Amino acid sequence: MTELSKFHNEPMETASRERITQIQSERLRAIVGHVYESNPIYRRLFDEKGVRPEDIRTAEDVVRLPFTGKDILRESYPLNMACVPRDQIVEMHMSSGSTGTPVVMPYTRSDLDQWAECMARCYRMAGAKPGDPTQITPLFGLFNGGFGMYHGARAAGLFVIPAGPGNTARQIRLARDLKTRVFTGVVSYGIRLMEVLAEEKESLPDLEIGIFGAEVFSDSMKKKISSGLDIDVFDIYGMTESGGVGTLGMDCPAHDGIHVWEDQYILEIIDPKTGELVDDGEEGELVFTSLTREALPMIRFRTADLTHVISRDRCECGRTHIRLAPITGRRDDMLIVKGVNFFPKQIEQTLLGIPGIGNNYQIIVEEEDGVNSVRVNVEAEPGVTGYMVEKALKEALGFSPKGDVFPLGGLPRQEGKAKRVFHNRIK
């Protein structure tokens, strides 16, 4: 691999901090003027905040702008937040939430190019080279996963295998016959691929790179997939509101945080309660502002994702863009049981540290008379007992959830994005 093959856009990916700040300031001024002049909802939000486009001069001025969130996008469904005429919109995708009004994200041709640029950087950062067979397993449809991986793979010059989700036996045959080197999917599908390969006593010797996202990704799960498939595993980040998978960034081969493309987005970490900025290293809620998107740039969008800044210094991979810690969980996913606050990711991390524990589990939150309790069902090899599971969880969480141990394969599977947390109200 040549030195240049490490980067898709080396001048931008390795730009100095001063250059990044200059670009952010220029683009922030432009995008603020764009949304204020083109959309009455944005204009109202700015006016209520008492800020006008001419008040925004540098990247630091972003804190003067109003927050946005999913609520306003749902209230403006389907396209009342759009900042371009309908005839400039060439594509749309929407959030994968299963309830309520969906969030619709429109794209101009320039927006699709921006998405492809961000995703191509991720592929190259993972070590993908032009011509590499790349198997894309997220859904090609209203949700953005499959198309984002596709747009980026084309921009990076990869050999695209648009497999889509499910039918794991066919996925394995495709990967074997086409010598797939790069595999993309949701986190839980990486586990499913491992399981079916083990059941069929198959292997994929050409597979070297796995790019997984869409679900909270614990270090233990990441290591398990990496070891089980014998590949380098990358945690990719992006959401509908930012423009789709990979738009925000991914971790690099150093695996020391997620690089976020700061020429495309301004990042803030805020206290979820006060909305004030927190210091680097302190956990808070991620907020981003789109700098280059046209159809629907988000201004200070509150993601509800919890993380912290690891570093703003140059990484050993050569990239200079900010590194964030893997997402701990979502602000609104935090569970409170017996006075203890915790996230599902903490349960996963604990379970996977128990020898003999399988890959599948369920967290069942039961509410009775306004009181919550938690049941954790797990799969495990013979010899693993409920007592062992309860003891490990009590040490990690401070209380012992109830639960049952099932044989390997005893809990339901999903081919796509896994559902781990279930809510049950007892009458």
Q: How many CB atoms lie within 10 A of CB 410?
A: 14
Domain 3-15+105-330 grouped into CATH 3.40.50.12780 = yes
Alpha-carbon gap, residue 265 to 288, rounded angstroms? 6
Report pLDDT for 56.
98
Angle at 165 between CA 378 and CA 324, to 5 degrees: 70
Q: DSSP character for 102?
A: P
Burial class (CB in 10 A: 0-12, 13-18, 19+), 378: buried
Q: How many CB atoms lie within 10 A of CB 219?
A: 14
Strand partners, 93: 105
Strand partners, 407: 380
Residues 6+ apart with CB under 8 A from 38: 83, 84
| 153 half-sphere exposure, CB direction, 13 A CA radius | 23
Residue 65 near residue 51 (C-beta atoms within 8 A): yes
Alpha-carbon gap, residue 238 to 248, rounded angstroms? 5
Report pLDDT for 242.
97
Residue 8 near residue 1 (C-beta atoms within 8 A): no
Residues 6+ apart with CB under 8 A from 113: none
Per DSSP bridges, beta strands 159-161 and 182-186 are: unpaired
Tell me the pLDDT tens digit for each residue of 281-338. Answer: 999 999 999 999 999 999 999 999 999 999 999 999 999 999 999 988 777 666 766 6
Number of H helices, E strands in the chain: 11, 21
Residue 396 near residue 346 (C-beta atoms within 8 A): yes
Per DSSP bridges, beta strands 340-342 and 371-380 are: unpaired
The class that CATH gives domain 334-426 is: alpha beta
Q: Indicate the angle between helix axes 17-38 and 40-49, nearest 10 degrees.
A: 110
Query: 131: left (phi > 0), else alpha (psi -120 to 50), else beta?
Result: left
Residue 126 parent element (H or E): none
CA dihedral 311, 32, 148, 206 (to 10 degrees): -20
Which amino acid appears at position 39 of this protein?
N
Q: Indicate the angle between helix axes 187-199 and 168-178, nearest 10 degrees.
A: 80
Residue 237 near residue 327 (C-beta atoms within 8 A): yes
Q: How many CB atoms lie within 10 A of CB 34?
A: 17
Report pLDDT for 65.
98
Burial class (CB in 10 A: 0-12, 13-18, 19+), 102: buried
Q: Which residues of 137-155 are buried (b: 16+ CB within 10 A; e: fewer)?
A: bbbbeebbbbbbbbbbbeb
For the chain, list residues with pLDDT below 50.
Answer: 1-2, 98
Q: Is the dihedral of CA 330, 151, 25, 89 positive or negative?
A: negative
Domain coordinates of the chain in residue numbers?
Answer: 3-15+105-330, 334-426
Give residue for tokens 């006008």.
52
Alpha-carbon gap, residue 156 to 111, rounded angstroms? 17
E strands in 125-171: 133-136, 159-161
| 422 half-sphere exposure, CB direction, 13 A CA radius | 12
Alpha-carbon gap, residue 388 to 355, rounded angstroms? 10
Strand partners, 134: 160, 182
Tell me the pLDDT tens digit for each residue of 92-128. Answer: 999 855 457 889 999 999 999 999 999 999 999 999 9
